[in-house]
Amino acid sequence: MYQAILTAAANETIFAIYFFVCCVLCKISKEFAIAKLIFTQQLTRFTDAPEVETTATVLRAGLEAAFDLNPLLRGYVLDEQGHLRKHVVIFVDGVRVRDHERVMLDVPLSSNSTVHILQALSGG
């Protein structure tokens, strides 16, 4: 009888350890998920705009990582209210950031997302 109790306890312990390891590995993989922000050459004419790799999960946090590297970049990308400037266009994984997303910039970034930030061309 004691052996059955010990065997059950051992199985529960093994399961608990397995569950813990899975949770840790899942957390580690999320922490190292990398999104890449790429600024086009139009912006690099005015200020340094390096390619940025970030673990951010939303667009605004990814942009903040770029602004941490070069604070001057913020003025070219965001207006005084922190909204995306109307002459700036952003694509996340090939999909343009929609008008209603330009204010909050809460577009989710997944692991291995690619974000392109460029100045829209206008004129005639």
Q: pLDDT tens digits, residue range 92-105?
A: 999 999 998 999 99
Domain holding 71: CATH number? 3.10.20.30
Same-domain pairing of 71 and 106? yes
What is the span of the domain harbouring residue 11? 1-32
- Tens digits of residue pLDDT in 62-80: 999 999 999 999 999 999 9
Q: Is the dihedral of CA 110, 41, 66, 98 positive or negative?
A: negative
Same-domain pairing of 43 and 74? yes
**More reliable by pLDDT, 117 or 123:** 117
Q: What are phi and psi of 89, to 5 degrees?
A: -120, 140
pLDDT of residue 11: 47
Domain total in the chain: 2
Same-domain pairing of 4 and 44? no
Same-domain pairing of 2 and 26? yes
Write down the pTM of the prediction: 0.71
From 70, 74, 32, select the one nearest 53 (Cα to Cα). Answer: 32
Kind of pairing between the strands at 35-39 and 95-96? unpaired
pLDDT band of residue 31 (cuts 50, 70, 90) is: low
Same-domain pairing of 48 and 107? yes
Same-domain pairing of 65 and 18? no
